[in-house]
């Protein structure tokens, strides 16, 4: 079954930018995020990526060059057994790199690089600047300072959307809340919710983090501002998520909505990035579409497959 996609997504498919990373030739030194190559452009902290979920070009900030994360997801591509290139985020260097990268994108100079010459123009239009990287961004010790620096860069040039990609476990920390106060209503927070039961979440995340804490954080945030839910469902040892788990997941979303959380979108996607672990696989489109349909029917929320 062929689902509807927009022109940017179709162009990305045609260009090979949304296929699993294992099937593409990735230049030496390139790493992967969201199934597409990250290009650090000789920067230490700032990279660009053609992102399926952004539907185009995302400029990313690696908030965790030290690879600090409180999850150990079975689908994670980060090589945590290798020493990090950097031990901390230098916000002044990051801000300078961000300005140079934005200039590269806006001037059209990015197209001169080999990775981007064959891409359609619409995929090279900046969609957002993302706080993401090799770990959980909200664990960055100078999170609030980093957000303030990014917002300062934005104030000096043309406006861009800011996106925080987070597992939602640390949204209640005062330092994180201080950083989020710099977000405008046009900015977005993508909060991870990879399951509807504690047992399944523990299995996917690789650690025990209370599901109720994640739900409480999403609910508190969602009452204050709209939030986007990001949910990655892999196959595990060749098996799809159980039907009862998908129903529980949709029920948790329904409870969040009924509790007052403003959920603009639920992103349903699967594992496409190379990982050091071998127990996971990519779910077929029909399975992802079925999960999205369950979310629509049970929770009454907009859900899209990526």
Per-residue pLDDT tens digits for 189-236: 999 999 999 999 999 999 999 999 999 999 999 999 999 999 999 999
pLDDT above 80: residue 260: yes
Q: Provide the percentage of residues in the chain whose pLDDT is more than 90.
A: 78
pLDDT at 24: 31
Q: Closest Cα to residue 122, out of 185, 55, 183?
A: 55
Distance from CA of residue 247 to its chain's centroid?
23
Residue 148 and residue 303: Cα distance in Å, rounded?
A: 32
Distance from CA of residue 264 to its chain's centroid?
16
pLDDT at 303: 98
CA distances from 264 to 218, 225, 255 (A): 13, 10, 15
Query: Looking at residue 38, what DSSP letter applies?
Result: E
pLDDT above 50: residue 47: yes
Average pLDDT, the chain: 88
Pairing between β-strand 36-39 and β-strand 31-33 as defined by DSSP bridges: antiparallel
Q: Closest Cα to residue 168, out of 190, 145, 200?
A: 190
The answer to whether 97 and 45 are in contact (CB under 8 A) is yes
Contacts 24+ apart (CB under 8 A), 78-81: 78/134, 78/135, 79/276, 80/276, 81/276
pLDDT above 90: residue 96: yes
Structure confidence by residue, pLDDT tens digits, 291-304: 999 999 999 999 99
Q: First vs last Cα of the chain: how many Å apart?
A: 15
Residues across the chain: 306
Residue 250, SS3 per DSSP: helix
Model confidence at 33, pLDDT cuts 50, 70, 90, reads very low
As beta bridge partners, residue 253 has none
pLDDT at 157: 86
Average pLDDT value for residue range 264-291: 88
Model confidence at 153, pLDDT cuts 50, 70, 90, reads very high
Q: At CA 252, angle to CA 187 and CA 243, rounded to 5?
A: 120
Q: What is the pTM of this model?
A: 0.87
Q: Closest Cα to residue 234, out of 277, 266, 191?
A: 277
Model confidence at 36, pLDDT cuts 50, 70, 90, reads low
pLDDT at 273: 65
């Amino acid at each position: 079954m062929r689902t509807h996609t927009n022109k940017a997504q179709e162009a990305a498919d045609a260009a090979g930018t949304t296929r699993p990373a294992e099937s593409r030739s990735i230049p030496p030194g390139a790493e992967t995020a969201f199934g597409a190559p990250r290009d650090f452009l000789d920067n230490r902290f700032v990279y660009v990526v053609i992102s399926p979920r952004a539907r185009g070009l995302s400029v990313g900030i690696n908030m965790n060059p030290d690879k600090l994360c409180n999850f150990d997801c079975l689908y994670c591509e980060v090589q945590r057994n290798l020493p990090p290139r950097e031990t901390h985020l230098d916000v002044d260097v990051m801000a300078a790199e961000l300005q140079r990268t934005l200039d590269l994108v806006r001037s059209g100079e990015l197209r001169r690089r080999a990775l981007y010459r064959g891409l359609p123009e619409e995929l090279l239009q900046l969609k957002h600047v993302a706080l993401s990287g090799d770990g959980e961004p909200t664990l960055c010790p100078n999170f609030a300072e980093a957000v303030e620096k990014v917002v300062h860069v934005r104030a000096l040039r043309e406006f861009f959307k800011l996106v925080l990609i987070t597992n939602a476990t640390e949204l209640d920390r005062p330092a994180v809340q201080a950083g989020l106060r710099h977000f405008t209503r046009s900015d977005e927070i993508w909060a991870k919710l990879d399951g509807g039961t504690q047992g399944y979440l523990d299995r996917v995340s690789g650690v025990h983090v209370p599901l109720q804490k994640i739900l409480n954080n999403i609910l508190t945030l969602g009452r204050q501002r709209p939030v986007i839910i990001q949910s990655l469902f892999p196959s595990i040892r060749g098996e799809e998520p159980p039907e009862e788990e998908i129903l529980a997941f949709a029920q948790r979303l329904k409870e969040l909505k009924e509790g007052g959380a403003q959920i603009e979108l639920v992103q349903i996607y699967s594992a496409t990035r190379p990982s050091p672990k071998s127990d996971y696989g990519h779910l077929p489109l029909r399975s992802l579409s079925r999960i999205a349909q369950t979310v629509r029917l049970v929770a009454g929320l907009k859900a899209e497959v990526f």
